[in-house]
Amino acid sequence: MTLLDTCALIWLNGNRRDFSPAAVKWLDRHADSLCLSPVSLMEIGMKSRKGMLEMPCPLETWYASMVELYSLRELPLSASIAMDAANLPELHKDPFDRIIIATALSHHIPVVTADVKFREYPQLKVVW
């Protein structure tokens, strides 16, 4: 399994050129085991509503098509993950990203991200 951060999820269906060559290789090799956190959908929806992100269709429709196209698996947000996110070192301030980091650590899986702050967590495997 591989967890996509919010940007990686957005880029997956249109901006693959924004990924590094190593990330593209990783995504191709692990295409059957890509995962997302539901907080990414909240983040995308909030950015879209604020005019910071243009969506090609309603979020629900976009999400359904992404799941179908990429066989994405949703990793649930649990109380344990929320507490782990709260207890992470203050290296990353964004609460959405902290939940994504805690989710990856909880499941012992890598995360695809361009966010350099993720690399500051030594126990986290970051693909970029």
The 3-class SS string of 2-66 reads EEECHHHHHHHCCCHHHCCHHHHHHHHHCHHHEEECHHHHHHHHHHHHCCCCCCCCCHHHHHHHH
pLDDT 10s per residue in the chain (128 long)?
999 999 999 999 877 788 999 999 999 999 999 999 999 999 999 999 999 999 999 999 999 999 999 999 999 999 999 999 999 999 999 999 999 999 999 999 999 999 999 999 999 999 98
Overall pTM surpassing 0.75 (yes/no): yes
CATH of domain 2-127: 3.40.50.1010
Q: Which residues contact 50 (CB under 8 A, 6 or more apart)?
A: none
Q: Which pLDDT score, from 0 to 100, does residue 57 have?
A: 95
Strand partners, 26: none
Q: Which pLDDT score, from 0 to 100, does residue 24 have?
A: 92
Please report, for the chain, the start and end positions of each structural domain, with discontinuous segments joined by +.
2-127
User: What is the distance between the alpha carbons of residues 50 and 105, in angstroms, rounded to a whole number?
Assistant: 30
